[in-house]
Amino acid sequence: MKQNIYDNAVFFENYKALRENPINYNELMEQPQMKSMLPDLKGKRVLDIGCGMGDLSMYCVENGASSVTAIDPSSNMLQEAQTRNAHSAIEYVQTSIEDAVFAKERYDIAVSSLVMHYVANYDKVIHSIHSALKDDGVLLFSSEHPIVTARKAGKTWIEDEEGKKLHFAVDDYQEEGRREAAWFVDAVVYYHRSFSTLCNGLLQNGFSLIDVNEPIPDDHAIAQLPRIAHELRRPSFIILKAKKTAHLY
Ligand SMILES: C[S@@+](CC[C@H](N)C(=O)[O-])C[C@H]1O[C@@H](n2cnc3c(N)ncnc32)[C@H](O)[C@@H]1O
């Protein structure tokens, strides 16, 4: 079983604390935008890739999905999911998306919130999701934005002597691949891909792109968490919505 940073005790405790306080980037910005882009869930079979603690899986069931297959490689995350978001219509499965084996054309909708930047082989994963979706099935995923993942020396703002943010550092944009940055612990691994690679991975694997969103915070979010206003200067996330429109041979 492929392991990941979410099974590191220090990382996990910090991440859990971050998500337990609803004043965070996910709840104020990324999740509302993702949910607003979901297709009608009524009676649909959903695949939740990298379900984490299962909140989005539960949202899908509460909004009419007939079943959710929720996959994640992390024991810690799945343990939380079983505790917080157990439901007879949700099946939690411990696997990475790379190792998962799906029945062909089983799902109407595949969702994935902030997981794709942990995936090393994006093209292969998109191909496998395509095969698991029915015709006209929808894939909706969010990822860290290429502007943020680009720089090899890490994600950072350039600041003046007083700590005022002058601009965000973008570099190494066309050099795709593995990156490391400190987040709760040292050297968390993720992968940088350009915007064109994200789109072409879909277009070349039988999907049509139907929506692209670079979430921005609304006034409510800024009032709750003033520093989220920096998202107006550079986006942290990108959300892509695509439909399976072609068969691959
Ligand atoms: C930022 S969390 C997001 C969790 C959940 N989707 C949410 O929005 O609350 C990223 C999740 O991706 C999972 N993950 C990392 N690599 C993965 C992979 N290769 N396949 C599937 N899930 C993965 C992690 O275990 C973690 O639960």
Q: Contact, 70 vs 93, CB < 8 A? A: yes
CA of 161 to the centre of ligand 1 (A): 37
CA of 162 to the centre of ligand 1 (A): 36
Q: Classify the phi-psi angles of 207: left when phi > 0, otherwise alpha if psi is within -120 to 50, otherwise beta.
A: beta
Q: What is the pTM of this model?
A: 0.97
Q: What is the pLDDT along the chain (249 residues), one digit of tens a residue?
A: 455 899 999 999 999 999 999 999 999 999 999 999 999 999 999 999 999 999 999 999 999 999 999 999 999 999 999 999 999 999 999 999 999 999 999 999 999 999 999 999 999 999 999 999 999 999 999 999 999 999 999 999 999 999 999 999 999 999 999 999 999 999 999 999 999 999 999 999 999 999 999 999 999 999 999 999 999 999 999 999 999 998 776
**Is residue 77 lining ligand 1, measured as CB closer than 6 Å?**
yes
Q: Whose CA is nearest to atom 13 of ligand 1?
A: 50
- Rounded distance from Cα 51 to ligand 1 centre (Å): 6
Q: Is the CB of 70 inside a 6 Å radius of any atom of ligand 1?
A: no
What is the pLDDT, as a whole number, of residue 220? 97
Both tokens assigned to 168: 């965000």
Instruction: Report yes or no: 210 and 189 within 8 Å, Cβ to Cβ.
Output: no
Q: Cα–Cα distance between 12 and 148 in angstroms, integer?
A: 22
Residue 53 Cα distances to 59, 71, 113, angstroms: 12, 10, 11
Q: What is the pLDDT of residue 4?
A: 84
Give the pLDDT score at 122: 98
Helix axis angle, 9-20 to 75-84, nearest 10°: 30
Does ligand 1 have an atom closer than 6 angstroms to the CB of 55?
yes
Cβ proximity of 171 and 152 under 8 Å: yes
Tell me, letter by letter, the H, E, C secondary structure of 46-81: EEEECCCCCHHHHHHHHCCCCEEEEEECCHHHHHHH
Cβ neighbors of 238 (< 8 A, separation 6 or more) are 142, 143, 144, 145, 146, 195, 198, 212, 213, 214
| Cα of 74 from ligand 1 centre, angstroms | 8
Q: How far is the CA of 48 from the centre of ligand 1 (A)?
A: 10
Pocket test for ligand 1, best of 2, 4, 56 (most atoms within 8 A of CB): 4
Looking at residue 247, its pLDDT comes to 79
Ligand 1 neighbourhood includes 52 CB (under 6 angstroms)? yes
15, 48, 118, 188: residue to mutate for ligand 1 pocket, most atoms within 8 A of CB = 118
Nearest CA owner, ligand 1 atom 20: 96
